[in-house]
Structure 1
Amino acid sequence: MFRTPGPVLITVIMCLTMVACLIDVFVFATLIKTFEAEWALTKAEQGWISGIYFAGYTATVPVLMAVTDRIDARRVHLSGSLIIALGALAFALFAEGFWTALIFRTLSGIGLAAVYMPGLRVLVDRYSGAQESRAIAFYTASWSLGVAGSFLVTGVIGEALGWQAAVLSGAAAAIVSFLMVALLLAPIVPQQPEQRTRLLDFRPVFRNRAAMAFIFGYAAHTYELLAYRAWLVAFLAFSVTQQPTPAVGWLAEPARIAAFTALAAMIASVIGNEMAIRLGRARWIAAIQVSSGGLACGLGFLAGESYALVAGLAILHSFLIQADSAPLTAGVYAAAEPGRQGQTLAMHNFIGWTGGFLGPVAVGLVLGHFGKESVVGWGFGYAAMGIVGALGAAVVLTLAGRRTDDA
């Protein structure tokens, strides 16, 4: 019934499923001004709705990833696609304010937890070619392509047909992902660890110093990345209002710029992996985290400057944030003990995406404190992203040093 796909085809299949499952991920951020007006949401409430998606992800990913050491990750991935579709469908039909939005976005976040890293496990468990880190790089790069699709597809559909139709497009895309995996990939039996432990006994992972270096670095990366994604459209929209003529062309509208930033991030993920191979993972990751964090600390204070400058720097910021993503994930997978890849990736995501949950919330709280419609407020909000992101460099260099530089 099933044909075994080669290394290129399996990589393409899993990248496409990742893109499809991500159409739903930033629908709230894309249409944030619509929800703010329709539901009378405060900036803090907007931050909670943006962040709760990743809280749902974080709370469930340890179990969902650890179980892939026992069962085929394909089964987890299929379940995740259906959960994303269910969460999006429920949001489109029943969300009517802050509390219902929290519930349904949490459900969709749980679905992503069953798709993103389990999808990587589906890929590497079936990948038979050389240069596995490059396959991982393309898979992590597909995250950025999916984000671009989320901003672009839901933005266009939302403007034309309303926010409910935009959310439903995410549900439909998740069903496409389910069908691709169900019909194109055969089940397998995963490699078992030499010494079996309890499913949620993560002590061997915590003792793995090299893996923990990348895990903590990933937490700083994800904090900055998801705070940036959650607030980018709102930040650009504010910058537009500060211009002498507050009007921009179709391609320069905030949602479109957000899509361009995601495409830049996709390129950065692939380039970043190649640079890490040549320069060493730890050194490359540290340099990128200091650069992206430093840019963030200044970018918010430039909101009142030329919109072209602000948009250009936002694209550069996206490139820098994502340039360490593939090296971080490839590094932790390479450092994992055989048979414990699922447990190691579980902690990679649990700790990492705890940062992803906290980032949007923290920026929302800062904006609420300093003023949601002021350059100073956005300046300190972006600084709250950048400081934490830059701290990751110190952690990676301290724990990893030169021992993990070989890619």
Structure 2
Amino acid sequence: MLPHVVVPSILAQFLIPEWRLTGANAGSLAGSYAAGYMLAVPFLATLTDRIDARIVLIAGSALSALATLMFGLFAEGLWSGAALWALAGIGFAGAYMPGLKALTDRLDPGDSSRAVTFYTSSFSLGVGLSFLVSQLVAESFGWRAAFYVTAAGPLAMMFVCLLLKPMTPTPSKGRLLNFGPVFQNRSAMGFILGYGAHCFELYGIRTWLVAFWTFVAAKGGGGTLLTPIAISFAFSILAMPSSVLGNEVALRVGRRRALTTIMFASAAVALLIGICADGSPWLLLPLILLYAITVPADSGALTAGMAMSANPENRGATMAVHSTVGFGFSALGAWAVGAALDAAGGPHVASAWLPAFGVLAAGILLGPVALAWSRTASANHQAIQK
């Protein structure tokens, strides 16, 4: 995870002024990682139904390290940067869902819900470290050095893979890229589409959080404890316990009910931040920290719901669709927030942040719609069968 948000971390301070990027350009550059991931994950995640996911994980980690290093060495503008960052996203496509498959293949069925939630929550810890390391290195040694240093992270993952016990998955029937059974699984598709709404909001705020707090700090003089580095790191670290607790609540009160409540709460907090964007950093700080809790609180419950709803013989294909939808919406979220900022005057204008956060709120509100559709469709299907 160490290279994961290097580009969003250095956008505001380094890449936007040096490469003269608009908001939409910057969002597209950051989103190219998710776009590369989206294009590759259907094949790579589904492949884990045929071969040991550990093998895919090793190859993906190697590509992630190489592409991150190449960005630091060769990226010179929007197009070269987007191409190399998309390549890094392809590498991550061979790491994240194949890593989850490697985990679930080695678990008893009863262990899956909490184990999947801890796995997805560790994603947030990795993002926090990525924000922290990349910004500290970039400020001390230049932005290219941030890519050299973070490229070491996937190399460590390769070493861990070598320690995993080899395992051959149960042979899967049918074509490799056979997603028909996944689309017919209404319960799983509800969680998958909800995950897409979650990713739209999550990647949108991750891409623009440093830029937003740079604006807040410059306007309000928030002091050393309110630097973009501190805020982005805290935002990511809070996501880990939030995701775990969100899943625990879902286990107790019902998954769809908990997810719907969380998503509505997150949309409300996003709108409140946009309304107060011109306020004091001390007013915005608790709102941002609250948003850091609401944004990821649905992540573990959505992914666990998908994994538990998937048919065992095509779990890899279900994970592939889950990731494809999620990271497709991630790329869209990063671009949409940047486009909203451009249309409203740019990230240095306080009034532009209301439509930006409004876009995030609108994105996450698609989640309850997807969950309601899934529940209604599943109920109708069961009634027809009876």
TM-score bracket for this pair, using the shorter chain length: over 0.9
Q: Is the 8 A contact 1:57 1:111 kept in 2?
A: yes
- Equivalent residue, structure 1, for 2:196: 219
CA distance in 1 between counterparts of 2:75 and 2:331 reads 21
CA distance in 1 between counterparts of 2:80 and 2:193 reads 32
- Equivalent residue, structure 1, for 2:69: 89
Tell me which amino acid in the other structure corresponds to 2:32: I
Tell me which amino acid in the other structure corresponds to 1:281: R
- Equivalent residue, structure 1, for 2:185: 208
Tell me which amino acid in the other structure corresponds to 1:134: R
- Equivalent residue, structure 2, for 1:361: 335
Q: Is the 8 A contact 2:340 2:355 kept in 1?
A: yes
> By how many angstroms is 1:322 displaced?
0.6
Q: Note if 1:114 corresponds to 2:105.
A: no
Q: Give the SS at the match of 1:339.
A: helix
- Equivalent residue, structure 2, for 1:397: 372
> By how many angstroms is 1:35 displaced?
1.2
Q: Give the SS at the match of 1:31.
A: helix
CA distance in 2 between counterparts of 1:247 and 1:340 reads 51
CA distance in 2 between counterparts of 1:35 and 1:263 reads 25
> By how many angstroms is 1:402 displaced?
11
Q: Is the 8 A contact 2:204 2:333 kept in 1?
A: yes
Tell me which amino acid in the other structure corresponds to 1:197: G
1:232-247 equivalences in 2 (<5 Å): 232-243=209-220, 246=221
> By how many angstroms is 1:300 displaced?
1.9
Q: Is the 8 A contact 1:238 1:303 kept in 2?
A: no
CA distance in 1 between counterparts of 2:159 and 2:64 reads 14
Q: Note if 1:263 corresponds to 2:237.
A: yes
> By how many angstroms is 1:376 displaced?
1.7
- Equivalent residue, structure 2, for 1:30: 9
Structure 1 gap ranges (5+)? 1-21
- Equivalent residue, structure 2, for 1:188: 167
Q: Is the 8 A contact 1:294 1:390 kept in 2?
A: no
CA distance in 1 between counterparts of 2:141 and 2:317 reads 43
CA distance in 1 between counterparts of 2:226 and 2:376 reads 42
- Equivalent residue, structure 2, for 1:19: none
**TM-align CA RMSD:** 1.5
Measured at CA, do residues 208 and 129 of structure 1 come closer, stay the same or move farther in structure 2, by a change above 3 Å? closer
CA distance in 2 between counterparts of 1:381 and 1:202 reads 34
> By how many angstroms is 1:270 displaced?
0.7
Q: Is the 8 A contact 1:151 1:256 kept in 2?
A: no
Q: Give the SS at the match of 1:340.
A: helix
Tell me which amino acid in the other structure corresponds to 2:198: H
- Equivalent residue, structure 2, for 1:125: 105
| TM-score, structure 2 normalization | 0.95
CA distance in 2 between counterparts of 1:150 and 1:85 reads 14
Matched residues, percent identical? 39
| TM-score, structure 1 normalization | 0.90
Q: Note if 1:335 corresponds to 2:315.
A: no
> By how many angstroms is 1:162 displaced?
1.2
Q: Is the 8 A contact 1:283 1:397 kept in 2?
A: no
CA distance in 2 between counterparts of 1:311 and 1:234 reads 15
- Equivalent residue, structure 2, for 1:325: 299
CA distance in 1 between counterparts of 2:321 and 2:249 reads 25
CA distance in 2 between counterparts of 1:47 and 1:270 reads 29
> By how many angstroms is 1:400 displaced?
2.5
Q: Is the 8 A contact 2:64 2:88 kept in 1?
A: yes
C-alpha distance after superposition, 1:26-45 (max 9, x if no partner): 11111112112222222221
- Equivalent residue, structure 2, for 1:290: 264
- Equivalent residue, structure 2, for 1:3: none
CA distance in 1 between counterparts of 2:109 and 2:99 reads 17
C-alpha distance after superposition, 1:90-149 (max 9, x if no partner): 001111111111111001111111111110001010124843211111100001000100
Tell me which amino acid in the other structure corresponds to 1:189: T
Tell me which amino acid in the other structure corresponds to 2:171: Q
Q: Is the 8 A contact 1:71 1:190 kept in 2?
A: yes
- Equivalent residue, structure 1, for 2:119: 139
What is the count of residue pairs matched by the alignment? 377
Q: Is the 8 A contact 2:198 2:299 kept in 1?
A: yes
Structure 2 gap ranges (5+)? 380-386
Q: Give the SS at the match of 1:322.
A: coil
- Equivalent residue, structure 1, for 2:275: 301
CA distance in 2 between counterparts of 1:354 and 1:28 reads 18
